[in-house]
Structure 1
Amino acid sequence: MVGTKRQQAIRKALRALAPGIPFGDAEAVLTLAGRPAMKALPPGTALWLALASHVRHVHTDYDQLLAEGYERDAARFFVAEPSDDVLAGWGCQRSVLDGEMLEEGAPGA
């Protein structure tokens, strides 16, 4: 496998967490998880935050809700179920509805 041990761990975590993720989405998530702001986090945590952020911004109306004036937490609330639907479609057993995506100060807002 090519890349640093951290990059390898993040790729492995993605394959385990969302085995059906399309290639283009996987590449975007891996890029987000590899950002400098994520380096202080364990690979699995960085991957989850990147995955949740990618789904929220790319596969839901989150950015549109923000542009309409919704507060960040309210917008996240309204896109939690659609986010989970996307994740479930990729074979992900984890849910953003458990509140982990809503934590303050997490990179990948």
Structure 2
Amino acid sequence: MTRQTSLETALRRLAPAIPAHEFAVVVDHACGSPALKRATPEEAAWLSLVAYIRHRMTDYDELLADHYDVDSARYFVADDMREILRDWGVRRALAPDGGDGGGA
């Protein structure tokens, strides 16, 4: 099984209702990220998914641009992230502080 196939399988299990476009982007990120190369497919899928949602579907980057620190910005977008994760069928919990456990 290729790395891409393993990541696709892991992401389908993790987020069964993720839309096709987001699915492709998350898998591409997980495949292409040097930082995720040594991660298990499951962990790479999770970290890529959380990073995608945080940076593309919330105000996280705008908060950072407005000089919020990383922890505060993550806190303020955590509820939005949880809602998206829930909508996509994800059962894994986001950390209470809005972090992912991996620094993504």
Match of 1:8 in 2: 5
- Equivalent positions of 1:1-109 (< 5 A) are 5-34=2-31, 35-98=33-96, 101-103=99-101, 106=102, 109=104
- Over the residues paired in the alignment, what is the CA RMSD in angstroms? 1.7
Q: Using the alignment, how far apart are the partners of 1:100 and 1:83 within structure 2?
A: 8
**Unpaired runs of 5+ in structure 1?**
none
Aligned 8 A contact 1:73 1:102 in 2: no
**1:47-89 Cα shifts (integer Å, max 9, x gaps):** 1000000000111110111111001111111111110100100
Aligned 8 A contact 1:49 1:101 in 2: no
| Paired positions, count | 103
TM-score (norm 2): 0.89
Aligned 8 A contact 2:75 2:97 in 1: no
**Unpaired runs of 5+ in structure 2?**
none
TM-score (norm 1): 0.85
Deviation at 1:98, TM superposition (A): 4.5
Q: Using the alignment, how far apart are the partners of 2:100 and 2:23 within structure 1?
A: 22
Q: Using the alignment, how far apart are the partners of 1:100 and 1:76 within structure 2?
A: 5
Q: What amino acid maps onto 2:15 in structure 1?
A: A
Moved over 6 A (4+): none
Deviation at 1:7, TM superposition (A): 1.2
